[in-house]
Chains A and B, each alone.
Chain A
């Protein structure tokens, strides 16, 4: 049973456009929702994270939108750049077993 569903699997965006990646979760005990960015040959790196006490968090060009009632959260990358081309993973954690559950990842390609 996949507890965090991520879409799309791949995404192509033009430079300057908005990239949007969506995730949905099932476990209502989750209370921590990070996004990780992974470049080829590198380990994942924490990009931005949110907790359910807020509906939105913004850091530079990256924004997480969170909808607790729908159990969904999304990553928006404004003014997307070729350097943003990477695989993005959403994840969730919470409850008594505080381990991250990852989505399947989205391969983002930003064309110049």
Chain B
């Protein structure tokens, strides 16, 4: 299994500002993903963070709103830009156990509240 650390664990932000969430993994991983979990809801995949290239975004999510960096195989950042109250969610970093296994490990999440 992988140990995934996310920062910040929680934050309260003002409307219109941006916040960057960091994800650090204790080992090199190929597959790294960012999920959103709105209050009381399921997990929705935002994007796949690709090392050395642009992230792959799911339908409904765009790079301008959720820019992602992946400078190496152990680290990634997700920025939530120009935040509104609708962006209040838990943002989860996850890594795959291997290619095409489907098994994911999750960080503890970053809980964002936008006022």
A contact set with B: CB distance below 8 Å:
32, 34, 36, 41-46, 49, 89, 91, 93-94, 98-100, 102-105
Contact = CB atoms under 8 A, between A and B. Distances in A.
Contacts of B104: 46, 100
Contact of A43 (B48, B99, B102, B108): B108
Contacts of B44: 102
Interface in B22-63: 33, 41-45, 48
A44 B43 contact: yes
Interface string B90-112: 00101000011111111111000
A2 B56 CA distance: 21
Contact of B103 (A49, A89, A105): A49
A66 B41 CA distance: 25
14 contacts: A41-B108, A42-B108, A44-B43, A44-B106, A46-B103, A46-B105, A49-B102, A89-B42, A91-B102, A94-B102, A99-B45, A100-B104, A102-B43, A104-B42
Interface of B: 4, 33, 41-45, 48, 92, 94, 99-109
B41 A43 contact: no
Nearest to B109: A43
A46 B95 CA distance: 12
Contacts, number: 48
Nearest to A94: B102
A104 B41 contact: yes
A46 B101 CA distance: 13
B100 to A, nearest CB: 4
B65 to A, nearest CB: 20
Contacts of A104: 41-42
Contact of A45 (B43, B101, B102, B106): B106
Contacts of A34: 102-103
8 closest Cβ pairs, A-B complex = A43-B106, A93-B102, A32-B102, A98-B100, A104-B42, A102-B43, A43-B108, A102-B42
